[in-house]
Structure 1
Amino acid sequence: MSDEFDASLRDLTGKLTQIESVMDLDALRAQVATLEEQASSPTLWDNPEEAQKVTSQLSHRQGELRRVSELRQRLDDLGVLYELASAESDSASMHEAETDLGDLVKEIDGLEVRTLLSGEYDDRNAVVTIRSEAGGVDAADWAEMLLRMYLRWSERHGYPTDVYDISYAEEAGIKSATFKVSAPYVYGTLSVEQGTHRLVRISPFDNQSRRQTSFAHVEVLPEVEEIDHVDIPEKDIRVDVYRSSGPGGQSVNTTDSAVRITHLPTNIVVSCQNEKSQLQNRAAAMKVLQARLLQRKKEEERAEMNALKDAGSSWGNQMRSYVLHPYQMVKDLRTEHEVGNPSSVLDGDIDGFLEAGIRWRRQTESA
């Protein structure tokens, strides 16, 4: 076995061992056993929402165990394969082993990023809101492009999404949209996307084909759970109902089922129009309002600490540029991670940016 390959294999084996330690496989197996017991209960589906939560958690934790076990087995098999190939001077098998090594490096690095998600809410579902900012109709179109990017990313990973509300702009695109992505650790993963996203391109809405810079803001919140106890007295909210609307403002149903809730003490406004009934829309809107109030509370608790930090590191500032003209590039301004294929990124291929963002956040927090 060559010294270089042997060293790479040792480094990778050590990294996987560290990951296994952080993930605490014994505790993970115990969680799986407990969830399997709950899933086998004949009364589980008496509460469909709780049943879905149990089965989802069980599937995820079983998947984590299976993923680590398979990586460990592949690493063990890889060492044997390369040793035999070297002994027999089998160039085809040696090439196969080197290819497998490269694949394992990517997969284990990806798993290592998952172990960095240890924040209080990192393991939850994510509630994402996209708002168009400066740039007029181009900004509204840009906000819709970002919405598609995140929905495509979710689809690529098999993560269910639920669009709560879309406010369409008059000419094209959207003013704002709010949706939920359901998967373990998806909040921790997507939280690094929070901030202002900048697009530079030749405007398709300018008859002189001039270059236009547009901005949209992405907000990522953890889904609120019952244990969070966000108390919202009825006297603190105003509830308005209206008819759901689609592109161009036309009504898409004949009843006042859409709901807008205003939190009077903070003037936070949330709305939901995509559920079938007014009651369902109100429940969904309340969950988004609770998420925003929970986020506000956490931000207030961190205010003193954040005041001591360099303002340039704030997630609320411009964090990524997407340039379509005069050259092609997407660059994260925090991590310096960049890609020369904006079309792929806008089609949902953002895992490289997410992994770089998670590593950057951990380094920033520990600095």
Structure 2
Amino acid sequence: MRPEITADIESLDTTLTTVEKVLDLDELDSRARELEQQAADPGLWDNPDHAQQVTTALSTVQAKLRKVRDLRTRLDDLPVMYELAEEEGDASIADDELAQLRTAIESLEVTTMLSGPYDEREAVINVRSGAGGVDAADWAEMLVRMYTRWAEKHGHRVDMFDTSYAEEAGIKSATFAIRGEYMYGTLSVEQGAHRLVRISPFDNQNRRQTSFAEVEVLPVVETTDHIDVPDSDIRVDVYRSSGPGGQSVNTTDSAVRITHLPTGIVVTCQNEKSQIQNKASAMAVLQSKLLEKKHQEERAEMDALGAGGNASWGNQMRNYVLHPYQMVKDLRTGYEVNDPSKVLDGDIDAFLEAGIRWRMSQEGAEG
């Protein structure tokens, strides 16, 4: 093998070995056997909520074990693949496998950095237009598309809860969930202000426009979180859904707005035809917001005690420049690319990885 190939394989082996130690494969094996015993209990489904937790946890542990062991087998087989390739005089297949392994192992390494209390959760994302008028509303809609395209490319389901359309173009806000393991930990680095600079398509003088949108990322609430919301603390209003299409979703009073009276938090859901479904979705979003508020208060208390933490790290976090040059740059990590169209089409993995590594370094420095 070429010396640089040997060095690459050795480097990946070191990284994967570290990941295996962090994940503790023996402990994962033990956990899988324990969950398999619970799943085999004939009375498991007497408590559906507990049964769902057990089966989900078992599926997650088994998938994690399969992924790590598959990567280890592929990496161990790679030197043999290169030997065969050299005999045939074409190393392109082996080179492709090396590149795929590098991406997969580095991605898994980043996942091991997601150890926060809610990082394994699914994510609720709220995108709101900021300063910049109609351009900001259009920019908010572009960001929603960016995240949904990213989710689609990775096979994650997107559930849209609410979309508030702006009068001329774009949206005032949108709230949606991205389903999948570690979605909150992965996407929470997107929280903050996103700034767009471009020639405005809404300006007949073709002037350059700067606009802003705010991204909020919340963990999906689970039954074990005990976020108690008494009926006396909320006001529920129903109204007719609005938006394009003129379908049955906006012909009845099915939209729901819930106001949490103690905090003033307001959430809405209008994307389902049923008022009951909309109320359930709105309550789920409200509970996520209350959970995040509780988490922020706990962080603030720790900060006051000198235990570190930085609740404002996500503000003014990324610039997207379409004119007079092409660039997307993260202001926290310094990572940048010169192809905004790919980023806006959902190619944000490198930004997510850089953000997670940056956050990890920040937490290490503060600790």
The answer to whether TM tops 0.5 is yes
Higher alpha-carbon deviation: 121-130 or 67-76:
67-76
Q: 1:296 to 1:118 in 2, by over 3 A?
A: same
Decide which of 253, 259, 273 is 2:256's aligned counterpart: 259
| Letter of the 2:219 counterpart | P
Say which SS state the counterpart of residue 145 (structure 1) adopts: helix
Say which SS state the counterpart of residue 18 (structure 2) adopts: helix
Query: What is aligned with 1:353?
Result: 351
1:334 aligns with 2:332: yes
- Residue by residue over 1:7-63, the C-alpha shift from the partner in whole angstroms, topping out at 9 and shown as x without a partner, is 332221121111111112223334444555566677777887776665554444333
Decide which of 205, 209, 228 is 2:225's aligned counterpart: 228
What pairs with 1:158-173 in structure 2 (closer than 5 Å)?
A: 158-173=155-170
Query: What is aligned with 2:172?
Result: 175
Distance (whole Å) between structure 2 residues aligned to residue 124 and residue 59 of structure 1: 14
What pairs with 1:275-290 in structure 2 (closer than 5 Å)?
A: 275-290=272-287
Query: What is aligned with 1:135?
Result: 132
Query: What is aligned with 1:151?
Result: 148
- Residue by residue over 1:106-137, the C-alpha shift from the partner in whole angstroms, topping out at 9 and shown as x without a partner, is 22111100111000000001011000000001
Q: For residue 293 of structure 1, report the CA deviation from its aligned partner.
A: 1.2
What pairs with 1:90-129 in structure 2 (closer than 5 Å)?
A: 91-93=89-91, 96-129=93-126
Query: What is aligned with 2:76?
Result: 76
Gaps of 5+ in 1: none
Contact 1:125–1:181 (CA under 8 A) maintained in structure 2: yes
Query: What is aligned with 2:266?
Result: 269
Higher alpha-carbon deviation: 252-261 or 126-135:
252-261
| Letter of the 2:345 counterpart | D
Distance (whole Å) between structure 2 residues aligned to residue 311 and residue 229 of structure 1: 24
Percent identity over the alignment? 66
Contact 1:168–1:249 (CA under 8 A) maintained in structure 2: no
Query: What is aligned with 1:302?
Result: 299
Say which SS state the counterpart of residue 216 (structure 1) adopts: strand
- Residue by residue over 1:233-278, the C-alpha shift from the partner in whole angstroms, topping out at 9 and shown as x without a partner, is 2222111110111149998433211111111121111111122322
Distance (whole Å) between structure 2 residues aligned to residue 145 and residue 36 of structure 1: 44
Q: 1:100 to 1:200 in 2, by over 3 A?
A: same
Contact 1:159–1:181 (CA under 8 A) maintained in structure 2: yes
Say which SS state the counterpart of residue 317 (structure 2) adopts: strand
Q: For residue 227 of structure 1, report the CA deviation from its aligned partner.
A: 1.3
Contact 1:243–1:251 (CA under 8 A) maintained in structure 2: no
Contact 1:131–1:143 (CA under 8 A) maintained in structure 2: yes
Contact 2:302–2:308 (CA under 8 A) maintained in structure 1: no
Say which SS state the counterpart of residue 215 (structure 1) adopts: strand
Q: 1:330 to 1:237 in 2, by over 3 A?
A: same
Distance (whole Å) between structure 1 residues aligned to residue 34 and residue 309 of structure 2: 45
Say which SS state the counterpart of residue 5 (structure 2) adopts: helix
| Letter of the 1:213 counterpart | T
TM-score, length-scaled by structure 1: 0.90
Contact 1:132–1:142 (CA under 8 A) maintained in structure 2: yes
Say which SS state the counterpart of residue 110 (structure 1) adopts: helix
Query: What is aligned with 1:17?
Result: 17
Say which SS state the counterpart of residue 142 (structure 1) adopts: helix
Q: 1:247 to 1:114 in 2, by over 3 A?
A: same
Say which SS state the counterpart of residue 207 (structure 1) adopts: coil
Distance (whole Å) between structure 2 residues aligned to residue 22 and residue 142 of structure 1: 40
When the two chains are superposed, the root-mean-square deviation of aligned CA atoms in Å is 2.8
Query: What is aligned with 2:186?
Result: 189
1:8 aligns with 2:8: yes
1:238 aligns with 2:225: no
Query: What is aligned with 2:319?
Result: 321
| Letter of the 1:73 counterpart | T
Distance (whole Å) between structure 2 residues aligned to residue 70 and residue 185 of structure 1: 20
Contact 1:199–1:214 (CA under 8 A) maintained in structure 2: yes
Higher alpha-carbon deviation: 39-48 or 9-18:
39-48
Distance (whole Å) between structure 2 residues aligned to residue 358 and residue 58 of structure 1: 26
Query: What is aligned with 1:61?
Result: 61
Distance (whole Å) between structure 1 residues aligned to residue 141 and residue 25 of structure 2: 41
Q: 1:142 to 1:301 in 2, by over 3 A?
A: same
TM-score, length-scaled by structure 2: 0.90
Q: 1:37 to 1:171 in 2, by over 3 A?
A: farther
Distance (whole Å) between structure 1 residues aligned to residue 5 and residue 229 of structure 2: 59
Say which SS state the counterpart of residue 123 (structure 1) adopts: coil
Q: 1:313 to 1:222 in 2, by over 3 A?
A: closer
Q: For residue 69 of structure 1, report the CA deviation from its aligned partner.
A: 1.6
